[in-house]
Structure 1
Amino acid sequence: MQSLFRVAAGCLLMLWLHTGYAADTGWLQSPQNTHAKVRLQAQPAHSSEKETRLLLSVSLEKGWKTYWRSPGEGGIAPSVEWQKPATAAQTTWYWPTPARFDVAGITTQGYHDEVTLPITLSGHAPATIAGTLTLPVCSNVCILTDYPFSLDLSSSGDNAEFARQFAVAMGKVPIAEGLADSVTAGYRAGVLQITAHRGQGWQNPEVFTDTLEDTSLGKPVVKVDGQQAQFTLPVTDEWGEKAQDISGKTLSIVLSDNGLAQQISLNVSPLPAAVPGSIALWQVALMALAGGFILNLMPCVLPVLGMKLGSILQVEQRNRKSIRMQFLASSVGIITSFLALALLMTLLRYTNQTLGWGIQFQNPWFIGLMVLVTALFTANLLGLFEINLPSKMTTRLATHQRAGLSGHFAEGAFATLLATPCSAPFLGTAVAFALAAPLPVLWGLFLMLGIGMSLPWLMIALWPGLAMCLPRPGRWMLRLRLFLGVLMLSACLWLLSLMENHLSAWFVAVLAGALLVMLFVLSLRRYGLRNSALTTGVCAVLVGAAIVIATQFSGAGGKPLRDDIAWHPLSEEAIQNALAEKKVVFIDVTADWCVTCKANKYNVLMSDEVQEALTEHDVVALRGDWTLPSKPVNDFLQKRGSVAVPFNQIYGPHTLAGEILSPLLTRDAVLQGLEQARGAR
């Protein structure tokens, strides 16, 4: 009788245990693929959770692999075609951290040996879950295998072992936070750069990226520097050709390090046009040399070049030796001034101040000094007097020949100071690299800038015959010297006009009037009333006509120039808002002291074609003013690897990374940039 009770109890126990079993297909294997087997287990949802849990286990032979949700440059991810009522829309897959495989130059992401994928089905579970699992496996060859399955949930229930296995599988899924302190992603033509910061430092960081539409991401190059890990990935289209712009898109990645992984969603922002360290130092040195040379062609330096020409014409007994020494002294002045600028940038760096090309023109004291110097040079060129003040520095700046070579040294230094508000091709990249580089590199690149600018002066020093070809002094020289004086006076008045950003317009007008009256009085004492009045009248007409022509009329049609563009304040938010509305964005960062900016404005931006293009309904024009110190503008420029103005950039649906234009704008470049950013209408 006791035995009978034991048998009955055992049967009841077995029946009770059966209700706690999870539904299980057992290990499934296909005759067409003996290299892999799969198993599906499921547990129905609790009434409170309304979620059915599944486990997909894959066991692979050694040397075989399957793929992650984003396989990489080849392969496809495992998938299930569900039979109704269970649908893919109800399904959520959880993917453990994958590994990377490299075969024949192709990088893929997936799993080897064994992997278990947790899957959940939302809502009330049906009595039976069925479907077909499609599993890709690869070694030297790839096999795509279908595994039909069916899970009966009607007789299954809670099972502690299944719950443990599900928890273990979920423990291998990347977490939402806890690994990296901060992660950013940036894109520049053909390159995706992901930067992750971790206070604890990195041991063996890896990154796995999800697929972007019509884009292929290659194998990352990893660079670890203490608490920062940087991943650089090549970007192409699906055919390995030029990639589309992925700036502004959302990228999903998994970041892992020594068994800990984090799932992260990032917004891809534009990378600076020139990232320090991405260009070889010798290339930047050549850019500095070329940028310095081109500065001689900028309108900023023309008054000094004219003054230099006038100094040669004043010497009646010209010889090769004196000309060579004069131009060598001017070259030394140029190079010394660039080294002085390097010293200034060094001091600003150590005091955590804003770094930039031409920022000294944001200082009213510097502008005032330049006004004084150009006024002295103007008086000297006009032949009003030869000054001999107690201050040696002022004497050297204002005299020629009598001060020996120091006057020519001062001319070179002055040319450098006048050149700093101008930005030339190659100059911005070289200066941006220098300001972010170690101090020895900064000084070396500024030295190359000085050598580049002094190249024309050095050429005449090597071949003085070029200067000796000028005509001998005569009456024509007085007229030329007068023209050079007017040119220098224009530079002086322009510098004085910059003081309006620091002083009242009325006070600046009084200073300008006082300067002109003083020059007239000195001219009256030197040349008499008739000649002074005639010269002043001619100069006034010439200057007035030049101003009217430059500011009111275009060179082509003679129509008054008007700026009809609705400029909006520059900000990153304004750019993103415009891009969200599928609009084209034109950015102009300018400054009143920037001569190149003025040339771009009157020659290009205020031309009829560009005005029409920038006032179209799908174009947003943003302008940043760097006349005075501005942290938002400075941060905007530095983010794009620039430290100088003018700066122009175009964004659009087809150029989300932003196209940076040359400092010297052309109408064709602006119009073509707008069309390219807009794409097909």
Structure 2
Amino acid sequence: IANNLVEGDPFGLASHPWLAFGLLFLAGLGLALTPCVLPMLPIVANIVARQKNPTVKKGVILTTSYAIGVATAYGLLGAVIAVFGESLGIIGWLQNPIILISFAIVFILLALYMLGVFTIRLPRAISSKIKGLSQAGDSKLGSTGGSLVAGFLSALVVSPCVSAPLFGALLAVSTIGSPLLGFAALFMLGFGLSAPLILIGATQGKIIPKAGEWMNWVKVGFALLLLAVALLLIERVFISPVILLVWALWFMVVATWAWSWLGRGRMLTQALGLVAGIWAACLIIGAALGNDDSLHPLASLSAAPTMVQSSSGQSIEGQLAGNNSATDKTVTTLAQLDAIIAANPKVIVDVTAEWCIECRIMDKNLFYSRPAQMQGWQLVKLDITETSADSKAILARYKLFGPPALLYYQDAQLVTQQVGEIGRQEFEQTLTALNK
């Protein structure tokens, strides 16, 4: 079960929580460099100004309370999402193409918002009520408790551009099923966002940052990252060389954005722009070659042909799955599966579903051009597309939340189980070990 959760946990919250907390804190610090924090600055300045006998210590305490209030609001949101994410089975339904495309559209809209293409505002009734609550607590800003409450409420009215990367973090939190980890993860993101404001208290408001061109440049960078997330979701649905061309366009825009910086550290940003431009060229070449892997666009130039032994004992170069699929079987119940396992000494069970994007990727990478190590193995597609008593029984037996998964049987005994998307190299290594 733990392995399955980790597969849907890109931040590694379940396996490496302390590292994940650090990364989320850094993500929050990155957000602090954007105009997202501007609505908070007047509140923090007011906190500092309301001190009767201003001191550095008192300023730090008050602004830290404010930062903790902001982080607590995010933490509670993370805990709620973690609970409902598990109960709704988000690990499974997040692979549905409709869901993936919907999320991609959301990320694109948020990116366009950050670029100023349109604005997002809460309904007047809601924003007025929240504003009233904030004003009600304004008189308490000079106290530690009041600053804490002000921070909590500020998290609700801060610029919607904060919700963009927050949305991505919530997707990760929704897969771990732990309210405690969910709270801690989003708390660190919120604290990272508001931590730089503590410096305002330490310096008695003397270093309040001013908006400038550099903040707009950073804001565009975050918008480009949101577009990249959308592309990552889209390419899981549409596996095509066309996606490489779209990625190439994205990298060219990144190169232009990085090269346009004229401030300090320009040599570093120009180097980034140069690397992005080179990678865009690689993607264009890869698309022209018919490749569809954006991480390895030139893989076909160095890929060795697959060698499969024919029934006569001769090696056949590049034999495709079409020559092997005649013996493949597809079943939907445990009774059908058990009968096949009992009749064959070596069986690979591919737990799959029509709506499973990772299953499609694995089918193409593992079974379209099959490795020689697969000889002698009976492949069975265990289809759980339909939610029924049979599919629930399958998931319960193997302690799975959903596909994909590979089950290896030898002499009717389950010897290895792999959960989540499996790469070609890992698949071949597993077969080699089992064939000894």
TM-score by length of 2: 0.50
Compare relative contact order (CA 8 Å, sep 6+) and give the higher one, 1 or 2. 2
Which has more helix, going by share of residues? 2
Greater share of residues in strand: 1
Q: Which has the larger radius of gyration?
A: 1
- TM-score normalized by structure 1? 0.35
